[in-house]
Structure formats: structure tokens, C-alpha cells
Amino acid sequence: MKNKINKIKDLALKEVSKMKSLANLESLKIKYLGRKSELTNILRGLKDLSKDERKEVGEMANKLREEIEESIKYQVSGIKQRELGDIKEKEKIDVTYPGTKIKKGHLHPLTQVRYEIEEIFKSMGFLTVDGREVEDEFHNFDALNMPKNHPARDMQDTFWLKNGTVPRTQTSSVQIRFMEKNKPPFRIVSIGRVYRNENSDATHDFNFNQIECLMVDKSGKIMVANFKSVVSEFMKGLFGKGTKTRLRPSYFPFVEPGFEFDASCPYCSGKGCRICKGTGWIELGGAGMVNQNIFTSVGFSENKYEGFAFGFGVERIAMIKYGIDDTRLFYGGDLRFLEQF
């Protein structure tokens, strides 16, 4: 009997010491200490032994039981310790390790150009004002000397909303909004989205951005010369000091006289190239001296004030500045395009 106990002891302690997983230790525990184990059997059979043997074998068996329990406990704590060590190693944080760079975005090229334009006008004392994107017919057309059935309305193919308002077709409406609340003298610039029912192609889209400028003072104080000076300062600021400006007679209902203005091509300095289609000039926008009808439509007396206004497209400016040949790229959201700016 004593031999048997010693054998169990050797076997059990050896097996336990080799075990590496908690689950396997659990089954060893059942194997050596469970209800059906040899040791339990021996303890159960003690009652059939002589008094002396019972004492001796009983002591040995109980001692072995404790020993096996102890060694399993020891083994379990070793395994747990090791697992904890692994976790610590895996989840270690080195606070001195350089961080992962977060990819930063940047302003859209149109926004960059917009800020640049606003900055140039600000340096000439112009105030930046905001307008509405949805306008009523009066502010978008009538007050700008474009009454119903005026042929000039045909130049701006309009989206009409069901309630008679329009996504504005031009930022000139800001002139009216501003003068309804403010008396001259003032100089303002407004940049924002306009909408026209056009098919998209490389140079047209159903929505684009326009810049509107308006400078007004008492009659006799502002002349075409002032306009020319402001616009040429602006062009120089945007395209470089050597840029020249040219005015051509044109017609817009809200100005009299009216012009279109061109800048000398910044790519070939006026010699003629692919960008300016060989002309040396780049058409930029419309302008003129404010028609007196505009002043009377906002309640000013006729001939009390004089001023100039001009307007042009932001996309066009950005296209020339960066050599972009398709306006739809601005709205495509393609990072390969956007990341170049």
C-alpha cells in the first residue's frame, strides 16, 4: 500500500510540474484527487485496514493529497504569472516613442484663392460682406435694372424655385442688399456661390463662385479712373507686379458705361500662349459705372451718388493662377487633384 502511494506521488508530482496550461491542470486535479482517483480509493478503503496500518497509510495518503494540491497551486500561479508577463510585454507603452503623424488636410484651392482675393481688397480698404444664396426676383434682377422680359435675363439661365425665388444667378444682388441698409461712401467686396442652369463642361458648371465689388461716393468723387486703378492693383496683387489691365466697352444693365476687363496673360506676359489662346490677354469679368437706376431702386435720389461695380468668377481666377484646365476638378473631391495645393 505504501509503495502504491509512493508511486502515485512520483507520477502525480512529475506530471503536474510539466503542465503548462490551466485547463490541463484542472484535469490532472480530477485524475489524482477526484472522486474516482486512486488516492480517494485508498482513503475510502482505510476502514478495512488494521488500526496501525490505518494510521500510517492514512497519514501518508492525506499528506500526499496536500502535497499534490500544493504543487498544483504552485504550478497554477506560475502559469498565471507568465501570462501576465506576456500581456505586460505585449501591451507595453513606450511613452518616449515618437507618435504616428496625423494626416492634416488643408484649405480647398478655391478657398485659398478666395482668401487671397479678400486679402488684396482688404488692403485697399474694402469691407467683405456676405449675401444670400437664395434671392428673390427683385434683388437678383429687377433692382439691378433687369425687369421681367429684359433680354439680359437670357444671359443667365436661371433655376426658378416653386415659390418664385431663385438660387442667385449673380453676386450683384449683394449690391442691392447692402445699399438697402447702408449709405455711401463705402467700398465692399462679396464672394460667394451662384447658380445657373448650364450643362457642365471644362469651363462651365451649374454652380460657381463670383466676386462682386462696389465702391460708391458722392457724385463727382469716383470715376472710371478709380475703377481702373483698383482693378489693376488687384490684378497685380494676384498675378504679379508686371500685370497689365485692359478695358473693352461692353453692356450690363446695372452699369453705364459698361466694360469688360482683361489681364495680360501671366504665363507669357502678353506675348501669346496656349493659356491666353495666343491673344496675350485673359478675359476676366464685367464692370462699369453704377447705373443711376440702381441707386433709385434702393431709394437714393438720382445723381446724388456715383460709383463703380465689377464682378468676375473665382474658378476662372484659380484656373489661370494654377494652370487648371477643367473647372469640374474643383468639385470632384479627387484627392490626387486637391493634394497638389
Judge whether 135 and 171 are in contact, CB under 8 Å. no
Minimum CB distance to ligand DAH smaller for 195 or for 330: 195
User: Distance between CA 80 and CA 58 in Å, rounded?
Assistant: 33
User: Distance between CA 132 and CA 136 in Å, rounded?
Assistant: 10
User: Distance between CA 222 and CA 26 in Å, rounded?
Assistant: 98
Judge whether 238 and 116 are in contact, CB under 8 Å. yes
Residues 163-202 that bind ligand DAH (CB under 6 A): 170, 172
What 3-state DSSP class applies to 303?
coil
User: Distance between CA 239 and CA 91 in Å, rounded?
Assistant: 56
Of positions 117, 231, 287, 320, contacts ligand DAH by CB under 6 A: 287
**What nine digits make up the cell of 13?**
508530482
Residues 126-164: b if buried by 16+ CB within 10 A, e if exposed? beebebeeebbbebbbebbbbeeeeeebeebebeeeeee
Of positions 184, 270, 288, 307, contacts ligand DAH by CB under 6 A: 288
Sole window of 121-129, 220-228, 248-256, 262-270 interacting with ligand DAH (rule: CB under 6 A): 248-256
User: Distance between CA 141 and CA 170 in Å, rounded?
Assistant: 9
User: Distance between CA 284 and CA 131 in Å, rounded?
Assistant: 22
For 7, list phi and psi in degrees, rounded to 5: -65, -45
Of positions 109, 192, 253, 311, contacts ligand DAH by CB under 6 A: 311
Residues 254-273 that bind ligand DAH (CB under 6 A): 254-255
- Per-residue binder mask for ligand DAH (CB under 6 A), 204-233, x = binder: --------x---------------------
Is 309 one of the binding residues for ligand DAH (CB under 6 A)? yes
Least Cβ distance, residue 236 to ligand DAH (angstroms): 20
Least Cβ distance, residue 139 to ligand DAH (angstroms): 13
Beta strands in 26-157, from DSSP E residues, in sequence order: 127-128, 134-135
Tell me the number of residues near ligand DAH by CB under 6 A: 12
Least Cβ distance, residue 257 to ligand DAH (angstroms): 10
Residues 35-94 that bind ligand DAH (CB under 6 A): none
Sole window of 40-48, 120-128, 234-242, 283-291 interacting with ligand DAH (rule: CB under 6 A): 283-291
Minimum CB distance to ligand DAH smaller for 222 or for 255: 255
Minimum CB distance to ligand DAH smaller for 9 or for 316: 316
User: Distance between CA 194 and CA 173 in Å, rounded?
Assistant: 10
Least Cβ distance, residue 235 to ligand DAH (angstroms): 16
**What nine digits make up the cell of 251?**
453692356
Least Cβ distance, residue 94 to ligand DAH (angstroms): 60
Least Cβ distance, residue 287 to ligand DAH (angstroms): 5
For binding to ligand DAH (CB under 6 A), which residues are involved? 170, 172, 212, 252, 254-255, 286-288, 309-311
